[in-house]
A = this chain, B = another copy of it.
Amino acid sequence: MSGGEKRSAAPTAAILVVGTELTWGLTCESNSVMLSRWLSERGITVVAAQKTPDEIGLIASAIEGFMDSTDIIIITGGLGSTHDDVTREALAGALKAPLVPDEAALSIIAEHAPDGADSDSFIRQAYLPKGTAAILPEAGIAPGIVAETKGTLIFSLPGVPREMEMMLERVEKELLARGKTKGRPLVERAGLIGISEPEAARLIAPVLEEHPEITVNIIAKPDEISLTLIAPSGGESAASGMERAFARILEQLGETVFSARGESLPEVVGALLRQGGLTLATAESITAGQIGSLVATVPGSSDYLKGGVIAYANDVKTGLLGVEEAVLERAGAVSSETAAAMAEGARQALGADIGLSVTGIAGPGGVAPEKPVGLVYTGLAAAAGTETFRHIHRGDRAGMQLKTAATALNCLRRYLLDREGKSDG
């Protein structure tokens, strides 16, 4: 399910990301993703996002092509001081304008260029195509550029993501001033786990049928399904329509929604632990520490994460976690009994309120007819008792390990929600 089926009269934009390392396929870039989202959220249709090498001719002809077909062009990269930074020259070529020095940009460079730097190569950065305006940098040295030609508004921004993002405020002002955007449309996002993509689509379909103004996008990742709704901005009735639709969608999806305000799963779990005044210890076999490291991505997580035991070998399961040899022999390392004993062991050994364990088969070895690759048991031990969960995950080794870690955090989330519900009632 994806948007863009109706060709609207919205302004159009092209994104041009400059760098030979990109067209060599040596590195990924995220600027085009960030800008695509930023523009889409402002009601602007991105018709192309193109990577181009550091070559004047290729950059200039890409700009010329997009000048004929789009309302807005945003270029990132190639504004630095080294000899392969040629976006200024390419833009000057496309605009058929000479490069002339900008006084304000010159004084920033004079002030901030590092001592001993080749001053000529730094001063190059203050030369902009005649008739364009500088966007003075709050970070870094290179100014951005705003140009307008044949009804197309062109922005040339630095390639360093942070420096680029700091200039977007100015870009937004220019777009608003020229009526290219009415501001941000209504956007809602939800993170789902424990549901398949087709099932999520099926559950929300009736709501979307009643709200044709809302476009929806569903993306499946190993550790979550992300759902985005966009409706055009348009006063109070649009806002209340979106609010109603989103509330009904959240109701339809129920407990599979872990986040309706953009938080990550570790943030949600962390907030619930903090709220309950509870501490956590992990006991990880198949994930070998990934649950702990996900929990610790959140600043302040030391308030509720005591730590854990990575119990990859069976003698660590018996030694540090106190799993009985008899359990391992009878039920096997990948079993509900072992998951329960690991979770209880972690809770006890680390003196935590909750023990969370996983044991499973990541493959390629360790497989038996009744124990396929991807079989995972999760254990959750608390004062009130111990629960276990059985899942079968698909995917490559890394995807399966990540999915196992996220699923365990989701078991913990649902337990904490349930507990909270009970203490409220």
> Which one of B288, B296, B313 lies within 8 Å of A401 (CB-CB)?
B296
Instruction: Let me know if A211 is at the binding interface, CB within 8 A.
Output: no
* Interface SS, A side: mixed
Complex: A79 Cα to B313 Cα, angstroms: 46
Instruction: Flag A318-340 by CB within 8 Å of B: 1 or 0 each.
Output: 01100000000000000000000
B residues in contact with A284, CB < 8 Å? 289, 292
With A297-B397, A307-B312, A349-B319 in contact, do A26 and B37 touch (Cβ < 8 Å)?
Answer: yes
B residues in contact with A351, CB < 8 Å? 315, 319
Copies of this chain per assembly: 2
Instruction: Let me know if A30 is at the binding interface, CB within 8 A.
Output: yes
Instruction: Let me know if A355 is at the binding interface, CB within 8 A.
Output: no
B residues in contact with A299, CB < 8 Å? 362-365, 397
Complex: A175 Cα to B317 Cα, angstroms: 55
- Structural contact, B36 and A25, CB atoms closer than 8 A: yes
Instruction: Flag A341-363 by CB within 8 Å of B: 1 or 0 each.
Output: 00000000111000000000011
Instruction: Let me know if A213 is at the binding interface, CB within 8 A.
Output: no
Complex: A57 Cα to B48 Cα, angstroms: 12
- Which chain A residues in 271-293 approach chain B with CB under 8 Å? 279, 282, 284, 286-293
Instruction: Let me know if A306 is at the binding interface, CB within 8 A.
Output: yes
Instruction: Let me know if A196 is at the binding interface, CB within 8 A.
Output: no
> Which one of B28, B49, B293, B316 lies within 8 Å of A288 (CB-CB)?
B293
- Structural contact, B46 and A53, CB atoms closer than 8 A: yes
Ordered by A's residue number, 7 sampled pairs between the chains whose C-beta atoms are within 8 Å are A7-B55, A23-B46, A47-B53, A48-B62, A50-B51, A287-B293, A302-B365
